[in-house]
Chains A and B, each alone.
Chain A
Amino acid sequence: DQQVKQNSPSLSVQEGRISILNCDYTNSMFDYFLWYKKYPAEGPTFLISISSIKDKNEDGRFTVFLNKSAKHLSLHIVPSQPGDSAVYFCAASASYSGAGSYQLTFGKGTKLSVIP
């Protein structure tokens, strides 16, 4: 059973507009969420994170929103730029104690294309 779901495999957005990437999770123990960006032939790059004590975290053009009751988070990119074209992965972890804590569970990714 997939615990972190990114239901949109791809998204196309015009340059300058807002990109919204969505992620849903099923495990109520998850309390730390991250977004990674990945270019072809490179490793994923950490973008932004949010803990469950917050509902919003902002870093420049990137904002992550967390809705715990809906088990949903989203990444907003404003304004979108052609260099943002990449695959975006949502990841989650649970900070319970014990062996294996803080292991990341990844979604399958959403390919964002920003059209000039």
Chain B
Amino acid sequence: IAGITQAPTSQILAAGRRMTLRCTQDMRHNAMYWYRQDLGLGLRLIHYSNTAGTTGKGEVPDGYSVSRANTDDFPLTLASAVPSQTSVYFCASSTSEDQPQHFGDGTRLSIL
């Protein structure tokens, strides 16, 4: 079934550790995005990529990095996790910047 796959589905991580959240889509969408959802705050954009090889910063990029080596994959890395990065992370993709975004089912990350 075509769509977006995020891994892991959940993770508990010690503060200071490095963590990479994986996101893969098989729809050949050009644009991909990473959001975090916190209680009472809705979804906030962390980083985005309009096409393979390019990335940009969203509303809350600090503490996160991304890469877009190919069309399908858009990993999100926390170089040194902190408790404030405890959140649910959603990856999304769209055919182009101006089309509706389709979301994965999220990764629930807890930093202790």
Q: Residues of A with Cβ closer than 8 Å to B?
A: 4, 32, 34, 36, 41-46, 49, 89, 93, 95, 99-109
A43 touches B98 (CB 8 A): no
Contact A89 B43, CB 8 Å, known A41-B105, A100-B56? yes
Please name 12 pairs of A and B residues whose Cβ atoms are closer than 8 Å in the assembled complex, sorted by A: A4-B42, A36-B103, A42-B105, A43-B90, A44-B90, A46-B100, A100-B57, A102-B97, A103-B45, A103-B58, A104-B45, A108-B42
Tell me the smallest distance from the CB of B92 to a CB of chain A, in Å. Answer: 8
B101 located at the interface, meaning its Cβ lies under 8 Å from any Cβ of chain A in the complex: yes
Q: What is the bound-complex CA distance between A43 and B25, given in angstroms?
A: 14
> What's the dominant secondary structure at chain B's contact region?
strand
Alpha-carbon distance A10/B40, docked complex (angstroms): 12
User: B106, A108: Cβ atoms under 8 Å?
Assistant: no
Shortest CB distance A47–B (Å): 9
Interface residues of B (CB under 8 A from A): 4, 33, 35, 40-45, 48, 56-59, 90, 92, 97-98, 100-106
Query: Which of A36, A102, A103, A108 is the one whose CB lies under 8 Å from B40?
Result: A108
Contact yes or no, A95 B48, CB < 8 A: no
Please give 9 more A-B residue pairs, beta carbons under 8 A apart, in addition to A89-B43, A104-B33. Answer: A4-B42, A43-B104, A43-B105, A44-B43, A89-B42, A95-B98, A100-B58, A104-B43, A108-B40
Which residue of chain A has its CB nearest to the CB of B44? Answer: A106
